[in-house]
């Protein structure tokens, strides 16, 4: 479904952001990208979204190469980025102009109901709390029914209770059409709560360090021993990724070993 093959990204100043990243995701799978700062998580999302081009390698969805923003790929950012001059309903339906008015309105109303915002359609973005605004952003991305949905730390600015609630709302929306989800997060618990796999990235340059399955049924019991064990496995891999030397350091030590 989503195939990243040998992705490399070097910025014009010579910084290597990503190095030989290969990742395959099945239709409907949820994968969390976890890693420290500078490991290329957001760069990877921008490559998948078509907002950036890889230096080498390719991104494909159902065999079609992604080289520019594509209607099959949606994205949720860290901030809601709602259009302030449009109502909540108009923000959600912004990308549905090709649908008949009745179907567009039905989709918007159904999505608002699923995230606990029934009746909020006529309101303005300025009337929403931070959590409500992010719910609208989630609905806006999913109501278009993309094949792939990218999420760049969409809950990072929220308190713990609101974050957990929105994770559950997102999974409820995902359940209807099951797009492939690629989630960037620094939160190990979020990865364990949402993902089928946690892919741990290693920095400088960004590359895959570990691919950890999370074989827990949904809805997930965050207080269970199995959940705690999954969190420990992800955290151990994250610690290992940060402690492991970068390729340049390994090469330097190898070259200078005769000293």
At residue 231, the pLDDT reads 95
- For residue 153, being part of any structural domain is answered with yes
At residue 247, the pLDDT reads 55
Tokens of 202: 């290693």
pLDDT per residue as tens digits for the range 97-149: 888 989 989 989 988 988 889 999 999 999 999 889 988 998 898 888 899 99
Is the pLDDT reported for residue 236 higher than 60?
yes
- For residue 113, being part of any structural domain is answered with no
Question: Domain total for the chain?
Answer: 1
Higher per-residue confidence, 161 vs 194: 194
At residue 173, the pLDDT reads 83
Weakest-pLDDT range from 36-50, 190-204, 237-251: 237-251
Cis peptide before 219 (omega within 30 of 0): yes
Cis peptide before 235 (omega within 30 of 0): no
Residues in the chain, total: 259
Local structure of 144: helix, strand or coil? coil
When pLDDT is cut at 50, 70 and 90, the band that residue 238 belongs to is very high
pLDDT per residue as tens digits for the range 54-92: 999 999 998 888 888 888 899 988 888 999 999 999 999
Question: What's this model's pTM, rounded to 2 decimal places?
Answer: 0.86
Helix runs in 66-155, H state only:
88-92, 101-114, 130-143
Helix runs in 154-255, H state only:
160-177, 188-194, 225-243, 247-255
pLDDT per residue as tens digits for the range 101-110: 899 899 899 8
- For residue 81, being part of any structural domain is answered with yes
- For residue 61, being part of any structural domain is answered with yes
- For residue 102, being part of any structural domain is answered with no
When pLDDT is cut at 50, 70 and 90, the band that residue 17 belongs to is very high
At residue 245, the pLDDT reads 63
When pLDDT is cut at 50, 70 and 90, the band that residue 257 belongs to is very low
pLDDT per residue as tens digits for the range 177-233: 899 999 999 889 999 999 999 999 998 899 999 999 999 998 899 999 999 999 999
- For residue 94, being part of any structural domain is answered with no
CATH code for the domain in which residue 171 is found: 3.40.50.300
Q: Which helix (H) or strand (E) holds 185?
A: strand 180-185
Q: Which helix (H) or strand (E) holds 3?
A: strand 2-10
At residue 254, the pLDDT reads 31
At residue 259, the pLDDT reads 21
- For residue 92, being part of any structural domain is answered with no
| Residues 201, 209 contacting (CB under 8 angstroms) | yes
**Domain interval for residue 241:** 2-85+146-255
- For residue 175, being part of any structural domain is answered with yes
């Amino acid at each position: 479904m989503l195939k990243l093959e040998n992705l490399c990204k070097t910025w014009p100043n010579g910084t290597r952001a990503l190095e030989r990243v290969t990742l395959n995701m099945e239709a409907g799978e949820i994968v969390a990208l976890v890693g420290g700062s500078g490991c290329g998580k957001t760069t990877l999302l921008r490559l998948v979204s078509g907002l950036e081009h890889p230096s080498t390698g390719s991104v494909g969805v159902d065999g079609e190469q992604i080289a520019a923003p594509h209607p099959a790929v949606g994205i949720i950012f860290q901030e809601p980025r709602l259009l302030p001059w449009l109502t909540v309903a108009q923000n959600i339906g912004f990308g549905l102009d090709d649908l008949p008015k009745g179907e567009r309105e039905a989709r918007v109303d159904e999505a608002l109901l699923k995230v606990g915002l029934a009746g909020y359609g006529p309101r303005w973005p300025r009337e929403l709390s931070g959590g409500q605004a992010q719910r609208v952003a989630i609905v806006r991305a999913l109501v278009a029914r993309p094949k792939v949905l990218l999420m760049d730390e969409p809950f990072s600015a929220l308190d713990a209770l609101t974050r957990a609630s929105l994770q559950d709302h997102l999974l409820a929306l995902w359940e209807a059409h099951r797009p492939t989800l690629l989630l960037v997060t620094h939160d190990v618990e979020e990865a364990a709560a949402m993902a089928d796999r946690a892919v741990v990235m290693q920095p400088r340059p960004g590359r895959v360090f570990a691919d950890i399955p999370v074989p827990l049924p949904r809805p997930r019991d965050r207080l269970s021993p199995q959940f705690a064990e999954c969190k420990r496995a992800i955290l151990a891999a994250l610690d290992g990724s940060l402690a492991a030397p970068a390729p340049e350091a390994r090469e330097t030590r190898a070259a200078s070993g005769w000293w």
